[in-house]
A and B are shown apart, each in its own frame.
Chain A
C-alpha cells in the first residue's frame, strides 16, 4: 500500500470537533476528510465500501483540478491524494460531485446531469456505482459529513442539486422540497445521531412507513463519549467520599477519572437498547464492569511493571504498590456491591443472572492473565497463533466485549442462553480483533493518543501476535537471541533494544500480519453479526454494535 501521501486516519484526535476546523482545499481533500470522518465515526460504512470496491483502485479526477485514488485496505477504504493510475477512472465536475452526494435517484438520473464519466469494465463500473451509492446514502446522513460538504459547497459557491426554497413551483419546476426541510429539521437531529430520511411517496412510487428496518449506522464517536461520561459519573457517585480518602478512595477514583475509550459502557448500553431496554437500565451494570476493569488495570500494571496508563503515571508509580493493590481490591469489592444495587431497578432475577455472568467474566479474565504471566515466568513464547488467540479471548475478550454485551441484554430482560451465546460468539471475534489492534497500537500508535508508553509491551516482554510471528520467521540464531532477551527482567531490557525488535518486526511484516489477522476476526464478527443476530431488530442500539465491530480494528486509540 502506498504510504507517501496517505490521508486516511491522519491527524485524528480523541476529541476533535464534529464541524471541520479548517477550510477544505479541494475535492480530493473533501473526499479524504470524508473517509477520515467515516473511519472514526461510522467504521462499518468504510468496511462495507471496502467490500464493494474489492481490488479496484479508483482514480478520481475532480472538476477543481484535484485528483485522488480510493481503494480498499483491510476493513476500510483509504484515499491517496494526487494523480495515480487506477483500474477504474472517474471524472467529476462540481455539479456531478454534489449530485452524487445527494444521491436519491437512479444512476441514470445523476448521469443525465452530465459531466460525470466512468471508465472501466461494466462489472467494475457497477461496483464503483454501488460504492458511491453506499457512501452517499449512508455517509450523507452523518451530520459531521454533512458539515464537511457544506463547508466545501460554501467555499466553492455551489448550490445543492435539489430545488432550493423559494423556487417557483409547478409541474415542470419542483415545489419546495420536503426532504430539504428534513435536512434542517431539529427533530430529525434529536431523534437519532444519524438523520435517516426516507421517501414514503415520491409522486410515482412508495414504500410502507413501517418497512423501515431501523437505522444501520450510528455516530459511534459521539455515542461512545456520551456512554463513557455517563458511566464515569455513575462510578464517581458510587465511590464513597469517606475516610480514608487519601489512602484509598481518592486512589479508587483516579483511573475512572482519567477517561478512556468508553468501549465497555457503549457495548453494555447499546446492547440493552438493541434488546428493547432503556439505556438507564444498563448504566449500573456498565459501571460495575468498568470498576472491575479499572481494578484489573491497577493490578495488571503492577504485574507488568507498566509506567503509564491513560496518559499519566500508573497508580503504583504514583502511590506505591501496596496502596495501589489495596485500591484495586477496593474497586473489585465496590463493583460487586454495584451489581447488587441493580435489584432496586431491575429486580432479583436479572440481578442474579448478572452476578452469574460477572463471576464467569472474572474467572475467564483471571485464567487468561494467568496463562500470559505463566508464559513470561517460564520464558515461553508460544509458536502457534491459536495459543495467543485463546489467551486473549479469555483475558480480554470476555470482559471487554462478550460480557458487556451479554450484561446489556440481561439488563433489558433478555436471558435466553442460546441468544446470549450467539451474541457472545460475535463479540468473541471482536474481542480478539480489539486486543490485536491494542497490541499493534502499543508498538506504532501515538503515545499521546494511546495513553500508554510506546514499546511498553516489548519492554514488558508481552507475548503478542507480532512477537509470535517474528519468532516464527526469524533465523534459529536470532530466535535464540530473542529468547534470551525476553528472558531478562524488564529493568535489563532497554528502549533501544526494543526499537531494534520493532524494526525486525517491520522487516518481517509481523505488524501487517497482525493487522490482517485482526481484520479477519473483525470481518468474521461482522459476518456473524449479520447472519446470526437477525433476531435483534434494527435499531440505533444495533447500529452502534455494528459500528463497534469495525471500530476495533480501525481505531487509533
Chain B
C-alpha cells in the first residue's frame, strides 16, 4: 500500500448474513448479467459539513461481451473548493465490500463500527475510509423505459452521513463529517439511446450532525434520445428523514440559463484528454426547477460553481458518454401545509450525456 493510503479491515460489511434471510439480499437481484449493455451501479456523493470538500464515487458492474466474468469499474472523484478536482482511474481499489443501505439486513448503526466504505486510487490518493449511516427513508424507485429494449431503474436516498478519513492528495488527510446521497441503479441501455440526464440532490445541514438533514431534495430528469418515449422527471423532498413530497413529471418544469465557463470544467480521469476525447456541450450556469403537488410547491435554483467531466467509454458509439459532476449552491423554497420555508445549501448535480453522434461531437 502506498504512503498516505487508508487501512481498513477486510470483510467488515458482513454480507454473509444475507444468505440466511428470505427475499433478495440486495442491493441487486441475484441474476447474472447476460448482456454487455446490462449495468448495475452503486453511486455515492457527499459534501463535507464545512462545505469545503466533496466526493463522488461510482461502482459499476457491467455484463461481459462473451458471457464471461462481468466487468467491474470503480472511480473515486474528490473535490476541494480551493484546489479543484482529483480523480482515480477507472479501477480504484476497494479493500472491503462497500456499504449500501439497500442490503438486507441493513447495516447496524447501534455499535461503533470500523470503516464500511473505503476506496483508494491505485496511486494511493485520492482515498477515503468512511463509516456511512443512513438517516432517511429511500425514495420510491424510478423507472425509465426507452428505445424498445432499454430501461433504467434507480432508487435514491439522501441524508447519508459519512464520517471518517478523507485524503484527496491536495490538502493533508483529515477526519471529517460529510452528508450525502446514495443510489442504486440497474438496467440495460446503450449510451447513445440513453441520451442524457440531469440528476441532483442537496441536504440542508442539520442542527444535529448525527441526525437526518432538516430538509433534503432529490430530483431527476431523464432525457432519452428516442422520440417515441417521453422524458422521465421527478422531484422528491424529505423533512427530517421522511419523504414528504413527490412531484411527478406532469407537475414540474426544468429550466436552465447561461453556460458554465469551460475553464471551470475539469476532464477526468486524467488520461481521458490524451486519448482523443470528443468535446461536449457546455454545461448550463444555472438550473431552476419548479413543481407542485396539490397546494404544496417547490422552487429550486442551483448555481453551478465547478464541474468535473467523467468520461465513460461507450460500447456502441464513438463519442464517449460524459457525466458532469457539478458542485454548486442550491437555493430551495418550499411551501408545505400552508407555510413557506427557504434554505440554501451546497448541492451536487449531474449533467450527463453526449454519446450520441451529433455535429458538435464530430469536431475533434
What 8 pairs across the A-B complex have the smallest Cβ distances? Answer: A191-B258, A178-B288, A191-B285, A210-B281, A188-B257, A175-B297, A178-B290, A201-B254
Q: Taking A185-B301, A192-B259 as contacts, is the C-beta distance between A204 and B254 under 8 angstroms?
A: no
Does B257 lie within 8 Å of A537, measured CB to CB? no
CA distance A204 to B285 in the complex (A): 24
B residues less than 8 Å from A205 (CB atoms): 230-231
Does A215 lie within 8 Å of B259, measured CB to CB? yes
| Among A188, A191, A209, A212, residue most surrounded by chain B Cβ atoms (within 10 Å) | A209
A residues less than 8 Å from B343 (CB atoms): none
A-B contact count, CB below 8 Å? 156
CA distance A206 to B144 in the complex (A): 15
Q: Judge whether B262 is part of the interface by a CB distance below 8 angstroms.
A: yes
Q: Judge whether A198 is part of the interface by a CB distance below 8 angstroms.
A: yes
Q: Taking A197-B255, A201-B233 as contacts, is the C-beta distance between A206 and B221 under 8 angstroms?
A: yes
B263 to chain A, nearest CB (A): 7
Residues of A within 8 A of B (CB): 168-171, 175-179, 181-182, 185, 187-188, 190-192, 195-215, 276, 278, 534-535, 537-540
Does B289 lie within 8 Å of A178, measured CB to CB? yes
A residues less than 8 Å from B318 (CB atoms): none
Give the nearest-CB partner of B301 in chain A. A181
Give the nearest-CB partner of B225 in chain A. A208
CA distance A181 to B301 in the complex (A): 8
| B interface size (C-beta, 8 A) | 54
Does B196 lie within 8 Å of A208, measured CB to CB? yes
Q: Judge whether B286 is part of the interface by a CB distance below 8 angstroms.
A: yes
CA distance A200 to B288 in the complex (A): 10
Does B257 lie within 8 Å of A201, measured CB to CB? no
| Among B230, B261, B284, B359, residue most surrounded by chain A Cβ atoms (within 10 Å) | B284
Does B198 lie within 8 Å of A209, measured CB to CB? yes
Does A170 lie within 8 Å of B295, measured CB to CB? yes
**Interchain residue pairs with CB less than 8 A apart (20):** A170-B294, A176-B290, A176-B333, A178-B300, A178-B301, A187-B257, A187-B285, A187-B286, A196-B258, A201-B231, A203-B250, A203-B253, A206-B233, A208-B353, A209-B223, A210-B358, A212-B282, A213-B360, A276-B262, A538-B360
A residues less than 8 Å from B164 (CB atoms): none
B243 to chain A, nearest CB (A): 19
B161 to chain A, nearest CB (A): 30
CA distance A538 to B259 in the complex (A): 12
Q: Select B255's contact among A179, A278, A539, beta carbons within 8 Å.
A: A179
Does B223 lie within 8 Å of A191, measured CB to CB? no
B residues less than 8 Å from A213 (CB atoms): 281, 360
CA distance A395 to B317 in the complex (A): 49
B270 to chain A, nearest CB (A): 19
Q: Judge whether B107 is part of the interface by a CB distance below 8 angstroms.
A: no
Does B284 lie within 8 Å of A209, measured CB to CB? yes
A residues less than 8 Å from B351 (CB atoms): 209-210
Main secondary structure of the interface of A (DSSP, over half): loop
B63 to chain A, nearest CB (A): 26
Q: Taking A171-B292, A537-B360 as contacts, is the C-beta distance between A201 and B252 under 8 angstroms?
A: yes
Does A191 lie within 8 Å of B252, measured CB to CB? no
A416 to chain B, nearest CB (A): 12
Q: Judge whether B52 is part of the interface by a CB distance below 8 angstroms.
A: no
| Among B285, B333, B354, residue most surrounded by chain A Cβ atoms (within 10 Å) | B285
Q: Select B258's contact among A170, A176, A192, beta carbons within 8 Å.
A: A192
CA distance A208 to B198 in the complex (A): 9
A residues less than 8 Å from B250 (CB atoms): 203-204
Does B223 lie within 8 Å of A175, measured CB to CB? no
Q: Select A208's contact among B223, B249, B359, B363, beta carbons within 8 Å.
A: B223
Does A181 lie within 8 Å of B299, measured CB to CB? yes
CA distance A198 to B358 in the complex (A): 19
- CB contact list, B200-259 vs A, under 8 A: 221, 223, 225, 230-231, 233, 249-259
A residues less than 8 Å from B221 (CB atoms): 200-201, 206
Using an 8 Å CB-CB cutoff, how does the interface string of B263-277 with A read, 1 for contact, 0 for none?
100000000000000
B191 to chain A, nearest CB (A): 12
A residues less than 8 Å from B195 (CB atoms): 208
Give the nearest-CB partner of B284 in chain A. A209
Q: Judge whether B39 is part of the interface by a CB distance below 8 angstroms.
A: no
B residues less than 8 Å from A200 (CB atoms): 198, 221, 223, 254-256
Does B290 lie within 8 Å of A210, measured CB to CB? no
Q: Judge whether B280 is part of the interface by a CB distance below 8 angstroms.
A: yes
A residues less than 8 Å from B260 (CB atoms): 191
Q: Judge whether B137 is part of the interface by a CB distance below 8 angstroms.
A: no
B residues less than 8 Å from A204 (CB atoms): 250
B residues less than 8 Å from A540 (CB atoms): 259
Q: Select B292's contact among A175, A191, A197, A211, beta carbons within 8 Å.
A: A175
CA distance A300 to B251 in the complex (A): 67
CA distance A208 to B250 in the complex (A): 17
Does B253 lie within 8 Å of A190, measured CB to CB? no
Q: Taking A185-B257, A188-B286, A535-B363 as contacts, is the C-beta distance between A178 and B281 under 8 angstroms?
A: no
A residues less than 8 Å from B288 (CB atoms): 178-179, 181-182, 185
> Can you add 4 more A-B contacts, CB < 8 Å, to A196-B258, A197-B255?
A175-B298, A182-B255, A185-B258, A212-B281
Does A169 lie within 8 Å of B295, measured CB to CB? yes
B residues less than 8 Å from A202 (CB atoms): 253
